[in-house]
């Protein structure tokens, strides 16, 4: 049985991962929009790179949830 400290630790880990992903996604998208505004002809390349970056950043909260579940099940 997991104590309340374990539950709190898992919740904080997941929350911080979600916060970090939100900030990271915001920065990625804002810089992409800025780049498209400066060079509209590079839109396709910038969007492709943005989607790859967003996918990598979104992996962080997923990994945090998996780790939290692993910790809770011990």
For residues 61 and 14, the answer to whether their CB atoms sit within 8 Å is: yes
Give residue 42's pLDDT: 96
- Average pLDDT, integer, range 14-31: 96
Whether the pLDDT of residue 2 is over 70: the answer is no
- Average pLDDT, integer, range 55-62: 94
- Average pLDDT, integer, range 13-29: 95
CATH class of 4-72: mainly alpha
Whether the pLDDT of residue 8 is over 60: the answer is yes
Question: C-alpha 59: how far from its chain's center?
Answer: 6
Cα–Cα distance, 6 to 35 (Å, whole number): 43
Give residue 49's pLDDT: 96
For residues 17 and 61, the answer to whether their CB atoms sit within 8 Å is: yes
Q: How confident is the model at residue 34 (pLDDT cuts 50, 70, 90)?
A: very high
């Amino acid at each position: 049985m997991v104590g309340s400290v374990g539950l709190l630790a898992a919740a904080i880990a997941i929350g911080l991962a979600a916060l970090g992903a939100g900030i990271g996604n915001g920065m990625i998208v804002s810089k992409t929009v800025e780049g498209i505004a400066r060079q509209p002809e590079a839109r396709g390349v910038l969007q492709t790179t943005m989607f790859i970056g967003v996918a990598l950043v979104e992996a962080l909260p997923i990994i945090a949830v998996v780790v939290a579940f692993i910790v809770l099940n011990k």
